[in-house]
Chain A
Amino acid sequence: MFKSILDKSRRLVGVGSMAAALAVAAPVMAQDKEPIVFGGSIPLSGVFAFAGVHLHAGLTDYTTWINSEGGINGHPVKYVMEDTGYEVDRSVAAFKKITGSNKVPVYYGDSTGFMKTIASELNSRGTTLMSGASFATALTDNEQYPYQFIPGPNYSQMFGIILEYIATQGKDGDMPTIAFVYSDTEFGKDPIENGKAKAAEMGIKVVEEIVTKPGSVDVSAEILKLRRVRPDFVVFHGYVLSPINEFMVQMRQMGLDTQFMGTFWSSDKLIINKMGADADGYMGVMPYNYYDSAESGPMLDALRATAEKSDPDAGYRPTGYMQGWFNAMVWTEVIKRTMDAGKELTAENMADSLASIENWDTGGIIGVPVTVQDMSFPVGRIWRVNAKEARYEPVSDWIHLD
């Protein structure tokens, strides 16, 4: 317990010294050109803090790295953020404060709720392009959210990638059967209708659909329902950890050979760290290479080197860190493309630059060149837990949806 407090203090000191280093370095770089501000409503506290601290570290480290590379077309980058506690009203207040005192071309939103709430203001301002922690399908509606994008596949696309993989796992010409298990939240319900439609289109039978109450609940009755339909695959969505562990452990106790899969936020090392050997065989869809994967590439190597330098004691960096870094990478690419085209950094020009991304090499963060479709990157790979090695290993090629 005390070690944990000490670790946190040490990290805070690390962040502090990094901020000090930035404060020293930034003015030197800023002598010639105006800084470009990355803004952010970041959930460093509250229910999403488990991911927020890593998103923040990814954004911070990317800023350090890009500045060490000379910034964006010679403009230094400044990362300005506020803690929101994962509350929409505080996120809105942070947005107003940060954009009120800085010119902010790109901004990190901490939740779907905030990104939906701020959309009309974002549209009327026309100054800022936004992405963030959300992979919500709704945000890829270009009519309603023209200046917001998803730094990976949206949740429906994640289901699409999972279903593409499941379709290859049939035996003797039969398609496997699946069950969807999701939380009774906006997050949990997001991909279900599209997932069912896609499964029907592919000839995969959805044999059961389980909705669970959010929070700490007993799910043994729901597991009894699954025992009766014996699905080949169970796909979870809307969870971080519980009740995935209970479904897996109890269904295996019942002698079922069902395989278990999850989407982005339920495919981090947390599952392995907390479940131990019980996590073996669990699979997740992930658009980025894991920090400790065997993959490499110039940007992935730079990420690892920067992470190691900023906090040598941190070890493995969670998927939230990768997501924060990739967000900032996309912002940089978009700003660079807009500047290179001699255009002003308006939301519309940057959205056009984003839409122009085609076969973009992300330097190993994503293992294949990526193309933006409907303000998202519909690509991912299926990874399976090897509990003995305590890591995820790829079991599919990269799947890029059309």
Chain B
Amino acid sequence: MDWLFFGEISLAGLAMGGLYALIGLGFVIIYKATRVINFAIGEIMMFAAYLFLAFAGGMEMSPWVALPLAVLGGSLLGGVIEKVMIRPMLGESSISVVMVTIGIASILVGVVEMIWGADPQLLPDFLPRKPVFIGEMYLAPKIAYGFLIGAAMLIIYLLYFRFSRGGVALRATASDQAAAYSMGINVRRVFNLAWVFGSLAASLAGVLVAATGGLSPQFGAIGLSVLVVVIVGGLDSIVGALVAGVFIGWLETVAGAYLGGEYRMPATFAVLAVILVFRPYGLFGTHDIERV
């Protein structure tokens, strides 16, 4: 066994997994607070990446100005979606809300095709191009720096949820909406905040993933990989999203390297099937017990 090769591909997989974890976090924040499964998360990522392309490419802004602007634009989009399209659905069946998010995904693809066209795109280079070596192990610079930016964002999020008033309100609403409401927490505002923060995490991941793998109106399909991550980790578990994101990223990469690219998806879906059989609520998800 070539251990150096195994180490190199594991590093690449873990780094990619870090970005999956960030997208998964965006998914989980929204679900945890509002109980909405957001099928438009991939398209929100895509929209933010196109915003980055417009700012850094079309308007020739510095990428380091374009990046926060694009991420803020993506999070603003999340807030608007919640206010205009999700909030009126409060009280409706979860299937109806899911269908609304699928509709939003289609609308975003249409909007992107209308504005930027259907051509595949590459984002302007903004990450260092010098190869990164950890010991003797090579790591592609885009992946390495993308992981570092993603990890920094993850740490900021965890600190925010742990220590800030907004974070506490969000966690309180997630654990018991009625109790949070009776304690004076503005639950509607928390719902909106959850969409803004969830979309912000997804938007940053969107720009970083598009910087590595390119961008097109079909970019949102990456949401499917992330759905596996959050189901394996547990739909309402932030820790679950982080652990499962890193694990699925690693597994996909190792399966692709040793078995061939066609086994990337089957490998992750096999894990998903096993998890669903033994822990249907995910590795770290809440096990709801209904007493009749």
Cβ-defined contact, A245 with B122, below 8 A: yes
Q: Is A45 an interface residue (CB 8 A)?
A: yes
Q: Is A218 an interface residue (CB 8 A)?
A: yes
Q: Is A343 an interface residue (CB 8 A)?
A: no
| The residue from B5, B214, B221, B262 contacting A228, defined by CB atoms under 8 A apart | B5
Q: Is A47 an interface residue (CB 8 A)?
A: yes
Partner-A contacts on B (CB < 8 A): 2, 5, 8-9, 12-13, 16, 54, 58, 113-122, 129, 131, 138-143, 209-210, 212-219, 221-222, 253-254, 256-257, 260-262, 264-265
23 residue pairs of the A-B complex, CB under 8 angstroms, read: A4-B116, A4-B117, A50-B118, A53-B118, A184-B262, A211-B260, A211-B262, A216-B212, A216-B213, A216-B221, A218-B12, A220-B143, A221-B8, A221-B12, A221-B257, A224-B5, A240-B120, A243-B213, A246-B140, A250-B140, A254-B131, A254-B138, A274-B120
Q: Is A207 an interface residue (CB 8 A)?
A: no
Cβ-defined contact, A246 with B117, below 8 A: no
Name the A residues within 8 Å of B2 (CB-CB). Answer: 228
Q: Given A1-B54, A224-B8, is A216 in contact with B257 using a C-beta cutoff of 8 Å?
A: no
Name the A residues within 8 Å of B113 (CB-CB). Answer: 45, 49
Q: Is A242 an interface residue (CB 8 A)?
A: yes
Name the B residues within 8 Å of A253 (CB-CB). Answer: 129, 131, 141
Who on chain B is nearest to A239 by CB?
B120
Who on chain B is nearest to A268 by CB?
B119
Cβ-defined contact, B209 with A216, below 8 A: yes
A342–B204 CA distance with the chains assembled, in angstroms: 66
| The residue from A212, A216, A249 contacting B216, defined by CB atoms under 8 A apart | A216
Cβ-defined contact, B261 with A224, below 8 A: no
Name the B residues within 8 Å of A211 (CB-CB). Answer: 260-262
Among A227-275, those with CB < 8 Å from B are 227-228, 240-243, 245-246, 249-250, 253-254, 270, 274-275
Name the A residues within 8 Å of B264 (CB-CB). Answer: 213
A253–B131 CA distance with the chains assembled, in angstroms: 7
Name the A residues within 8 Å of B5 (CB-CB). Answer: 224-225, 228
Who on chain A is nearest to B16 by CB?
A218
A49–B118 CA distance with the chains assembled, in angstroms: 6
Q: Is A223 an interface residue (CB 8 A)?
A: yes
Cβ-defined contact, B118 with A47, below 8 A: yes
- Beyond known contacts A47-B218, A221-B13: 10 more, CB 8 A cutoff: A4-B116, A210-B261, A212-B261, A213-B264, A218-B209, A220-B12, A222-B257, A225-B5, A228-B2, A245-B214
A1–B131 CA distance with the chains assembled, in angstroms: 34
Name the B residues within 8 Å of A28 (CB-CB). Answer: none
Partner-B contacts on A (CB < 8 A): 1, 4-5, 8, 45-50, 53, 184, 209-213, 215-225, 227-228, 240-243, 245-246, 249-250, 253-254, 270, 274-275
Q: Given A218-B16, A221-B256, A253-B129, is A242 in contact with B214 using a C-beta cutoff of 8 Å?
A: yes
A392–B212 CA distance with the chains assembled, in angstroms: 25
Q: Given A49-B113, A253-B129, is A218 in contact with B119 using a C-beta cutoff of 8 Å?
A: no
Rank and list the top 7 A-B pairs by shortest CB-CB distance, nearest first. A242-B214, A216-B213, A211-B261, A49-B118, A220-B140, A241-B120, A221-B9
Quote the shortest CB–CB distance from A193 to chain B (angstroms): 15
Name the B residues within 8 Å of A212 (CB-CB). Answer: 256, 261
Name the B residues within 8 Å of A220 (CB-CB). Answer: 12, 139-140, 143
Quote the shortest CB–CB distance from A230 to chain B (angstroms): 14
A223–B5 CA distance with the chains assembled, in angstroms: 11
A224–B114 CA distance with the chains assembled, in angstroms: 38
Cβ-defined contact, A184 with B214, below 8 A: no
Who on chain A is nearest to B224 by CB?
A215
A165–B268 CA distance with the chains assembled, in angstroms: 40
Cβ-defined contact, A215 with B222, below 8 A: yes
Name the B residues within 8 Å of A242 (CB-CB). Answer: 120, 122, 213-214, 216
Who on chain B is nearest to A44 by CB?
B118
Who on chain A is nearest to B257 by CB?
A221
Q: Given A221-B12, A224-B8, is A241 in contact with B209 using a C-beta cutoff of 8 Å?
A: no
Quote the shortest CB–CB distance from B273 to chain A (angstroms): 19
A77–B249 CA distance with the chains assembled, in angstroms: 55
Who on chain B is nearest to A7 by CB?
B117
| The residue from B13, B138, B218 contacting A215, defined by CB atoms under 8 A apart | B218
Name the A residues within 8 Å of B54 (CB-CB). Answer: 1
A119–B253 CA distance with the chains assembled, in angstroms: 39
Cβ-defined contact, B213 with A224, below 8 A: no
Name the A residues within 8 Å of B117 (CB-CB). Answer: 4, 8, 49-50
| The residue from B13, B58, B122 contacting A275, defined by CB atoms under 8 A apart | B122
Name the B residues within 8 Å of A219 (CB-CB). Answer: 213
A222–B115 CA distance with the chains assembled, in angstroms: 34
A249–B141 CA distance with the chains assembled, in angstroms: 11
Cβ-defined contact, B221 with A215, below 8 A: yes
Cβ-defined contact, B212 with A218, below 8 A: yes
Cβ-defined contact, B115 with A4, below 8 A: yes
Cβ-defined contact, A216 with B9, below 8 A: no
A263–B268 CA distance with the chains assembled, in angstroms: 31
Cβ-defined contact, B261 with A223, below 8 A: no
A209–B213 CA distance with the chains assembled, in angstroms: 20
Who on chain A is nearest to B261 by CB?
A211
Name the B residues within 8 Å of A5 (CB-CB). Answer: 114-115
Name the B residues within 8 Å of A245 (CB-CB). Answer: 122, 214
Name the A residues within 8 Å of B119 (CB-CB). Answer: 50, 270
